[in-house]
Chain A
Amino acid sequence: MSNRTVSRVLQAPAVILLLIWMIVPLSMTLFFSFIRYVLSSLNRPEWTTPSISNWRGFGNYEFVLNSKDFVFAIQNSLLIVGSILFLTVTFGVLIAVLINKAFPGRGIVRVLLISPFFVMPAVNAVLWINMILDPVLGLQGLAVDGLNGLIAGMKDLPVIGWFFSQWPTLEPISFRATQTSAYAVIVMVTWQWTPFAVLIFMTSLQSEDQQQKEAAILDGAGAWSQFRFLTLPHLGRPIAIVVMIQAIFHLSLYAEIEIVSRGNGNKNLPYLIGEFANNNIGAASATGIFAVILANIIAIFLLRMVGKTLMD
């Protein structure tokens, strides 16, 4: 056997497996998205079997585009993903710059910082929504109670008591309502993914050109202009990569939404697909195709960036 044949044979299992994984389910989704297909229907039992005779053309796409849920899910997906990206990148850069220089206990701080990333999403959601954010029994509820108690105590003080008696009683926020649960998801995912951004930016900062920095210091550049004109441009590429990788992960956010928002109206694309899939497979599939298109737009940019460094 020639080298080439051996090489092909060695790659074959991985390529074939991934090819099946990619083509079979996706082409089924594509097919279902063009037919009328529901899991149960009293009036039209023929729609319950996937068949070409139930062809609907772009009807499912129209149905999905016109549904309020879809518009809401897209907006919400973008709100959630956009906020998480902004927060993780901002915190990530600041924290990475902060811990890039040596200080006592840096190794331990790194370990503390990275830990949230390894917490499974289901535990992350349960932990935050119950033990931390719950308005009555969570830390939030306890903190608000404590503050209210403190303010009430201050009212009895002479002179400044009057000032505190004007304060309204603080109300805890429930994070289980439609809109606030999206905020809860943003908080918990930001907590989990900021460490990832920090780790990547730190790795990148270690390769920053120190001589350039020294030259800048000699020229009298302050800390801010060093950061603005040297560090930030150096981090441009890693920032782009962090943004794209996270965008792909967070567009398919599921466990957190399921745990925090089930039944309260808050949803993103994957959650909406799951809802449609309880009966209307045609609509679920059309929504799925939209999700694929959205992910592809981001993926193209990411693949280009990664591809450039591939063979050096």
Chain B
Amino acid sequence: MAIVAQETKLGTFGRPVLAWGIGLLFFFPIFWLVLTSFKTDADAVKPEFLFTFAPTLENYLNMTENYDYWRFAINSVITSVFATAFALFVGIPSAYAMAFNPSRRTKDVLMWMLSTKMLPAAAVLYPMTFLTKNFLGIYDTHFLLILVLCLINLPIVIWMLFTYFKEIPKEIIEAGQMDGVNTWGEIKEILIPLAWGGIASTALLCFIFCWNEAYWTVRLTTTEAATLSKLIEGNRAPEGLFFGRLSAVSTAAVGPIVILGWFCQKQLVQGLTFGAVK
């Protein structure tokens, strides 16, 4: 029989109350953003309309007119989706080889990959601008953002895939090898169906990181490939004039991702601590 720590009366009542209080406190700014998005710009700054106001959808309906929202949103979708796909395309074979065919150097390769993630982006800002603007002519293109977003997330993707793949018994893969399936077939027919859940959560997390990225997306774009981060950054100082419409466009930019995020809390721990916390 397990001895469960007896909670004092204060504990039984205090803990839920305090926990709920803290939870609501942390969520409040998001709630406030969503609430403000249903107020007109004029109402949004008036104390008498803090919680009681006539809700309006006007901010959402005018999002295209006010901010050209969809152009930026489509850019965010394109760059995040393709960067994630590309990272998986490069990462799956690599993680597969490291998980099922490790050599003495595998550990070093993984550590080195991780270390590329620690390079401060600002340190290579100018060379990146220089190379892509003057030399390659790909500044402010989707292609460039896809490439950069893929590269900065590739270490995390490989790392996560590696930890998932390692949990698959080696015998299953070897059985496939004996049947004379080639490597590509092994990956497609055996590995991907087996590790589907892990691959999906890796993709989800990579997508979220791409969507929220705010250094390269701001510094390597001007208009053509500008994403939602760039849009919001460009409208940073409305001086209270446009709280309503700015809230609406912000809600539209973060809403889907926050909801996606709810589904990958566990993967987040693994993805961000590189398997070091279990």
On A, residues with C-beta under 8 Å from B are: 3-4, 6-8, 10-11, 13-15, 17-18, 21-22, 24-26, 28-29, 32, 95, 98-99, 101, 103-106, 108-123, 125-132, 134, 136-139, 142, 145-146, 191, 194-196, 199-200, 203-204, 207, 210, 213-214, 217-218, 237-238, 241, 245, 248, 251-252, 254-255, 258-259, 262, 269-270, 273-274, 277, 281, 284-285, 288-289, 291-292, 294-296, 298-299, 302-303, 305-307, 309-311
Q: How far is the CA of A178 from the CA of B136 in the complex (A)?
A: 38
| Contact A21 B215, beta carbon cutoff 8 Å | no
Given contacts A99-B19, A109-B19, A310-B111, contact A254 B250 (CB under 8 A): no
Q: With a CB–CB cut-off of 8 A, which chain B residues contact A204?
A: 277-278
Whole-angstrom distance from the CB of A149 to the nearest CB of chain B? 10
Contact of A252 among B22, B32, B110, B120 (CB under 8 A): B120
| Contact B261 A134, beta carbon cutoff 8 Å | no
Q: How far is the CA of A121 from the CA of B209 in the complex (A)?
A: 11
Whole-angstrom distance from the CB of A257 to the nearest CB of chain B? 11
Q: How far is the CA of A255 from the CA of B253 in the complex (A)?
A: 15
Per-residue A-contact encoding for B118-158, CB less than 8 Å = 1, 0 else:
11111111111111000000000000000000010011001
Q: How far is the CA of A166 from the CA of B32 in the complex (A)?
A: 34
**A136 (CB) vs chain B CBs: closest residue:** B240
In the complex, given contacts A291-B120, A306-B273, what are 4 additional A-B residue pairs having Cβ atoms less than 8 angstroms apart?
A: A10-B96, A11-B97, A291-B122, A310-B107
Q: With a CB–CB cut-off of 8 A, which chain A residues contact B23?
A: 108-110, 112-113
| Contact B257 A118, beta carbon cutoff 8 Å | yes
Could you say which interface size class chain B belongs to?
35 or more
Per-residue A-contact encoding for B86-105, CB less than 8 Å = 1, 0 else:
00001101101110010100
Whole-angstrom distance from the CB of B152 to the nearest CB of chain A? 8
Contact of A200 among B123, B254, B262, B269 (CB under 8 A): B269
A-contacting residues, B205-239, CB 8 Å: 208, 211-212, 214-215, 218-219, 228-230, 232-233, 235-238
Q: How far is the CA of A158 from the CA of B127 in the complex (A)?
A: 71
Whole-angstrom distance from the CB of A140 to the nearest CB of chain B? 12
| Contact B260 A299, beta carbon cutoff 8 Å | no
Q: With a CB–CB cut-off of 8 A, which chain A residues contact B36?
A: 131
Given contacts A10-B94, A134-B240, A295-B118, contact A119 B254 (CB under 8 A): yes
| Contact A142 B50, beta carbon cutoff 8 Å | yes
Does B274 have its Cβ within 8 Å of any Cβ on chain A?
yes
Does B243 have its Cβ within 8 Å of any Cβ on chain A?
yes
Of the A-B pairs whose beta carbons lie under 8 Å apart in the complex, a sample of 29, sorted by A's number, is: A7-B101, A10-B97, A11-B97, A14-B91, A28-B124, A109-B23, A112-B26, A113-B22, A117-B261, A118-B212, A118-B254, A121-B229, A127-B33, A130-B243, A131-B243, A145-B47, A200-B269, A203-B266, A207-B278, A237-B277, A245-B273, A252-B120, A254-B214, A258-B233, A270-B122, A273-B123, A285-B126, A291-B123, A292-B123
| Contact B19 A98, beta carbon cutoff 8 Å | yes
Q: How far is the CA of A10 from the CA of B103 in the complex (A)?
A: 13
Does B276 have its Cβ within 8 Å of any Cβ on chain A?
yes
Whole-angstrom distance from the CB of B45 to the nearest CB of chain A? 4
Q: With a CB–CB cut-off of 8 A, which chain A residues contact B116?
A: 18, 21-22
| Contact A255 B269, beta carbon cutoff 8 Å | no
Q: How far is the CA of A248 from the CA of B119 in the complex (A)?
A: 9
Q: How far is the CA of A26 from the CA of B118 in the complex (A)?
A: 13
| Contact A15 B103, beta carbon cutoff 8 Å | no
Q: How far is the CA of A10 from the CA of B94 in the complex (A)?
A: 5
Does B30 have its Cβ within 8 Å of any Cβ on chain A?
yes
Q: With a CB–CB cut-off of 8 A, which chain A residues contact B158?
A: 14
**A285 (CB) vs chain B CBs: closest residue:** B126
| Contact B238 A22, beta carbon cutoff 8 Å | no
Given contacts A251-B120, A288-B124, A309-B276, contact A21 B151 (CB under 8 A): yes
Q: How far is the CA of A114 from the CA of B101 in the complex (A)?
A: 37
Q: How far is the CA of A235 from the CA of B227 in the complex (A)?
A: 38
Q: With a CB–CB cut-off of 8 A, which chain B residues contact A284?
A: 125-126
| Contact A127 B250, beta carbon cutoff 8 Å | yes
Does B203 have its Cβ within 8 Å of any Cβ on chain A?
no
Q: How far is the CA of A108 from the CA of B116 in the complex (A)?
A: 37
**B232 (CB) vs chain A CBs: closest residue:** A122
**B234 (CB) vs chain A CBs: closest residue:** A122
| Contact B94 A15, beta carbon cutoff 8 Å | yes
Given contacts A113-B26, A118-B258, A303-B111, contact A13 B94 (CB under 8 A): yes
Q: With a CB–CB cut-off of 8 A, which chain B residues contact A116?
A: 26-27, 29-30
| Contact B183 A269, beta carbon cutoff 8 Å | no
Q: How far is the CA of A231 from the CA of B141 in the complex (A)?
A: 50
Whole-angstrom distance from the CB of A215 to the nearest CB of chain B? 9
Q: How far is the CA of A217 from the CA of B7 in the complex (A)?
A: 12
Contact of B235 among A106, A126, A132, A277 (CB under 8 A): A126
Q: With a CB–CB cut-off of 8 A, which chain A residues contact B214?
A: 120-122, 254-255
Q: With a CB–CB cut-off of 8 A, which chain A residues contact B26?
A: 112-113, 115-116, 191, 194-195
| Contact B122 A241, beta carbon cutoff 8 Å | no
Does B200 have its Cβ within 8 Å of any Cβ on chain A?
no
Does B194 have its Cβ within 8 Å of any Cβ on chain A?
no
| Contact A200 B151, beta carbon cutoff 8 Å | no
Given contacts A18-B151, A194-B26, contact A252 B121 (CB under 8 A): yes
Q: How far is the CA of A108 from the CA of B23 in the complex (A)?
A: 9
Contact of A199 among B238, B243, B268 (CB under 8 A): B268
Contact of B243 among A28, A121, A137 (CB under 8 A): A137
